[in-house]
Amino acid sequence: MSLTAGIVGLPNVGKSTLFNAITKKNILAANYPFATIDPNVGVVIVPDKRLQTLEDMITPDNVVPTSFEFTDIAGLVKGASKGEGLGNKFLSHIREVDAICEVVRCFDDENITHVEGNVDPIRDIDIINLELIFADLEVIDSRIGRIEKKAISTKDKDALFELALLKKIKDALENNIPARRLEYTEDEEKILKAFNLLTKKPIIYMTNVSEEDIVNGNSYVKMVEDYAQKEKSEVVMLCAKVESELSELNEEDKMLFLEDLGIKESGLDKLIKATYSLLGLATYFTAGPKEVKAWTFRKGMKAPECAGIIHSDFERGFIRAEVISFEDYEKFGGEKGAKEAGKMRLEGKDYIMQDGDVCFFRFNV
């Protein structure tokens, strides 16, 4: 399952430095706007201690962690929705991601120019949110213009339903309320998928602080946390400079460095966990002597759909899933012990996959 989070932010907030660090890619990072002109995509490994446990127990030939894509999107400025800066290019790139990770500058540094002249995280967030709102309003107004007259004249039930939905969103956007803050029925959600609204995408605010503030944060971070709480979004505090240094270290040195800093996990690890939570993602495992592998799925997916992540034939010819929870797999020393303890379950087509399930799929095509 390929999922992508887009890293966005105003110029010079530490966005590209952070991207370089978390993906270990050497892309252009410069102290001026538009250093990143085309989106850069990097794949990061999702940290999961359970995978290490399975490896230690089985000693397979190969271990494959699950991964996540981050896309570094060119810096946005005021007026992007009207074509300012990189304008429409920026907005079109955001439409392609599943979630938005917005880097917000929460540090003072007179050597790094702020595109708006001074540090003000809420103003910066509002600049980006407003541009996304303007872009969505253009989409909504265009669609209303195409269907309103026909819907009213023909009294077509589906057209009237869509029109009411569009007007509900338009009213919210005109009051600076992103589409993601509204509640929708299942039928409304189906209609909205076609529009791929920018303000409907879930968002995480990444507060980029100085190394001195990495443990306790600062007043800027508190402002962002208060803002995010109102719209039920998540906040991840990190220091792009520290993440850059961590990316150069091996795992042992990395843990020692984190300990010296007084923090338990890197900003990247916190970000991946927050993104997983935001998108409703979970992990199941396949485990055997040849390979132990982690697979990402959306919570609520049934066994055949999860089998289809491995190969479409698995879903098409699904018979059953042999499932052991990770806890039981570990407790009873692997598949054999779990079987003997009666902890292996045979699950059918209606089984809803759980995080940590260790699975073997039976299928016939």
One-character DSSP codes across 209-248: --GGGTTT--HHHHHHHHHHHHTT-EEEEE-HHHHHHHTT
Query: Which residues are CB-neighbours of 27 under 8 A, at least 6 positions away?
Result: 16, 19, 20, 36, 40, 72
Residue 89's pLDDT is 59
**Residues 202, 218: Cα–Cα separation, whole Å:** 25
Residue 250's pLDDT is 85
- In the chain, the percentage of residues whose pLDDT exceeds 90 is 58
Residue 29's pLDDT is 45
Query: Which residues are CB-neighbours of 73 under 8 A, at least 6 positions away?
Result: 6, 7, 8, 36, 39, 90, 93, 94, 97
Residue 35's pLDDT is 39
Kindly compute the dihedral angle of the four CA atoms of residues 58, 59, 64, 66, in this order, to the nearest 10 degrees: 40
**Mean pLDDT over each residue of the chain, to the nearest integer:** 87
pLDDT digit string (tens) for 104-150?
999 988 877 676 678 899 999 998 888 889 989 999 999 999 999 98
Q: Is pLDDT at 57 greater than 70 in this prediction? A: yes
pLDDT digit string (tens) for 269-308?
888 888 888 888 999 999 999 999 999 999 999 999 999 9
**Per-residue pLDDT band at 230 (split at 50, 70, 90):** confident
Q: Are 11 and 77 in contact (CB under 8 A)?
A: yes
Q: Are strands 291-298 and 357-363 parallel, antiparallel or unpaired?
A: unpaired
Average pLDDT over residues 177-192: 93
Residue 85's pLDDT is 46
**Residues 109, 88: Cα–Cα separation, whole Å:** 30
Residue 27's pLDDT is 44
Residue 82's pLDDT is 57
Q: Is pLDDT at 237 greater than 80 in this prediction? A: yes
